[in-house]
Structure 1
Amino acid sequence: MNKKLVLFDYDGTIVDSAKMIVKGAIEAFRMCGLPDPDPNKVRENIGKPLAIALDAYAPKGYEVNPEMISNAYRKWYAEQGRLGLQDEPLYPGMVELIHDLKSNKEFNIGVATNKSRIALNNGLKKHNLKEVFDITLTMEEAKPKPDPDMAIQAMSKLNVEKKSTIIVGDTINDIGLGVNADINSIGVAWGYNSIEMLKNEGADFIVKDSKELFETIINL
């Protein structure tokens, strides 16, 4: 039997991590001796590779080293995880949906995220999801979204065809991956980009809650 593959974004799709990401960005800037970034601009750029996001919210007139900021951010996130302070609540119904798909022999499930590996692992561990997914990919193992690399790697490793692969996400980077990889894409309405943005990027479907998401996945 040829299985289907569902790749989930993490931040803004499975968990609401906006507060954590904004706080982490502020702490990283402080650790590097820089003024605080604008919290609203940080939130608007969740999901983008850091080097691109920094262009939007780095303080003007300061020399900002993306690698230094990234290392400080990872260090802060790792410490929060170690202390059990990684505050990323699950969206309603998502754990149940993930377990329902896991128990269905027709599906492989995975995570494709621009998050760091340590932050993803800490989050999955906290929510008892670390062993549930068949594959997880971060920007440390693959090119960041919207590049199709994460989808290509996942399809190759799990031996799944394009026509049987779905990306689920809340930002234009997730939908962009779907377009670039030529796979089905489902935009979720509860994340960090608007429905209009997701539609304009080329989302095949838009869903308003986890129940509608499950029905859409099953019927594809």
Structure 2
Amino acid sequence: MTQHLVLFDVDGTLVDSQHIIHATLVETLARHGREPLDRAFMLGGVGLSLIPAMRRLLGPEADEALVAAAAGTYREVFHRLRGDPAHAELLFPGAAEVVAGLAARGDVVLGIVTGKTRRGIDYILDRFGWRAAFATVQTAEDAPSKPDPGMVLLAMAATGFRADATLVVGDTSWDMTMARAAGAGAVGVAWGNHTPDMLREGGAQRVIDRFEDLAALVGAPLTAEAS
């Protein structure tokens, strides 16, 4: 039986965290004397590690001291808001079922590649009872920020999989570019932070509208869709 490694992004792919991330970004900007930006632009940086995300948000005129300070503010605000039920992070429809179904398959090993910190992903794994489901978890603390392929390469090395047996599932162009740079397959999800066109431009070979469509793609030949 041929084995396959399926690597999931988290925010915007498995977990609907748009509300809490947007609220955190708005407060972070305000505390550093900045006005809110376009919501889609602000959420478009989700998936990047925190420092690159803050650099993108603050613009090229921001010095590294401001970027670092804003990153610290973001961490503080995010962890405070996470304790408020109004900002609860929920799973996208079908996420729990798809993770459970793939984890039960004898031909699939699951992993995570996320821009979250280790602390952030530990919270998610514990909250949703996913500790046993994922054989490898790669975070912003383990490799350079997406779209660098480092997280995917580390996940493959940790599990013994080659690129041609690895599939990355994510909601941003950063995920798709990361996957293709590592030689892995790339499947985008249409319900996240980047549009289907952005996903295809980033290298997505398929874009799915429902989580239920993912299982049939694991192990299937993928060719790039037209953008």
Which bracket does the TM-score occupy, shorter chain normalised? 0.7 to 0.9
Query: Which runs of structure 2 are paired with 1:131-170 in the superposition (5 Å)?
Result: 131-170=132-171
**Distance in 2 (alpha carbons) for counterparts of 1:21 and 1:187:** 20
CA distance 1:74–1:117, shift in 2 (3 Å): farther
**Distance in 1 (alpha carbons) for counterparts of 2:126 and 2:3:** 26
Query: Which runs of structure 2 are paired with 1:45-56 in the superposition (5 Å)?
Result: 45-56=45-56
- What 5-or-longer segments of structure 1 have no aligned partner? none
Deviation at 1:156, TM superposition (A): 0.5
Query: Which runs of structure 2 are paired with 1:42-81 in the superposition (5 Å)?
Result: 42-58=42-58, 65-81=66-82
- Are 1:116 and 2:117 matched, yes or no? yes
Query: Which runs of structure 2 are paired with 1:160-199 in the superposition (5 Å)?
Result: 160-199=161-200
Aligned-pair RMSD on alpha carbons? 2.4
Deviation at 1:81, TM superposition (A): 4.2
Deviation at 1:75, TM superposition (A): 2.6
**Distance in 2 (alpha carbons) for counterparts of 1:174 and 1:205:** 13
Which residue of structure 2 lines up, in the alignment, with residue 8 of structure 1? 8
Deviation at 1:56, TM superposition (A): 4.1
Letter in 2 for 1:130: R
Contact 1:44 1:192 in 2 (8 A): yes
Which residue of structure 2 lines up, in the alignment, with residue 38 of structure 1? 37
Which residue of structure 2 lines up, in the alignment, with residue 26 of structure 1? 26
Deviation at 1:86, TM superposition (A): 5.4
Aligned length: 219
Name the TM-score, length of structure 1 as normaliser: 0.88
What is the percent sequence identity of the aligned residues? 27
CA distance 1:163–1:84, shift in 2 (3 Å): same
**Distance in 2 (alpha carbons) for counterparts of 1:116 and 1:218:** 30
Cα deviation code 1:139-182 (max 9, x no counterpart) = 11111111110011111111111111000001000001111101
- What 5-or-longer segments of structure 2 have no aligned partner? 222-227
Deviation at 1:2, TM superposition (A): 5.5
Segments ≥4 residues shifted beyond 6 Å:
59-62
Deviation at 1:131, TM superposition (A): 3.4
Deviation at 1:126, TM superposition (A): 1.9
